[in-house]
Structure 1
Amino acid sequence: MCGAEVVSRVDAAWRALDAVLDPEVPALSVRDLGIVRDVIDHGDALEVVLTPTYSGCPATELIEKNVVDALVAAGLGPVRATTRRAPAWTTDWISDEGRRKLREYGIAPPAGGAVASAGEAPIRIVRHTADEVVACPRCGSTHTERLSAFGSTACKALWRCLACREPFEHFKPI
């Protein structure tokens, strides 16, 4: 086995989770979105700790099922998913790669940047103001306006670019 890379069960699980897409924003994996908090090897089973984007997220059960199914399909089972709601998920947990993927998908990412890990995310209160600047994910212009506080899901708002005239969704910072 000279030169072969030995990959731990936890590392293999993290890699497999890169392929599990968020059902509401399928441009992002559950890792990109930052809802996978931890993967723990208990010897007899893997535990995946998930934090939903908000407590009433209708996709929570589907995400749990998709995570468990992907890890079992990768030969890493048995697997159990645990939901942890505290600290609450924040858009700071979206990875830099996830923010790039959101822009490419046509959704303006939330302001701010990703934190090193979910455990380091600060608790903050976000105040939305009339002078909020959101760049168009299509042309990059900041000459935009909010049309509606809510888009296709509760975590997104509907905006329009006044430069290219295209509507787009903005992933709201929380």
Structure 2
Amino acid sequence: MFVFSEFETRIGLIQLVFPENSHAPELFNIIQTNAAEFTKWLPWVPKTDSVETELKFINDVRMKNAQYELLSLVILANRHPIGTIDLHEINANFHHAQIGYWLDPTYQGNGIMTQAVKQLAHHALHELGFHKLTIEADTLNVKSIAVAENADFHYEATLKDHIINEGEYRDLLLYTKLAD
């Protein structure tokens, strides 16, 4: 297992690791258990309908990780998958990327995602050569907004009617962080 980063929290050791096939069943179970809540914010949730679908996703992101098109990581708490975080929409020419994330609600409220975003942002801005990172959050997703703000991302704009989710146009808040 390749550990990208790790940190301690009040619930134990948190690791950001490259996805492995063995993570698929637990990730799938979290997604299915929380599908009603996750679907509000993550339009791909209904398409994740089996462990095999999650396994295919893991293999796809591993290939994209290897080709530097994506940096997808699984979040482990005490060696068990509890969510994911990634850099996507990578633009190598302009040195920017977007951060996306989700976390099992059982573990929310412990600062795990905020710290994971801080860790990933630090590596991206100081070691991987990115200049600008963004986070997009639905205006109704107060937990995602709190993560962006607590991870020291700055509000930049409201993107009006930027996505369609649950059959309606939704606004997104755009948060940014620049290299020092």
TM-score normalised according to structure 1 size: 0.29
* Structure ranking higher in helix proportion: 2
Higher strand share goes to which structure?
2
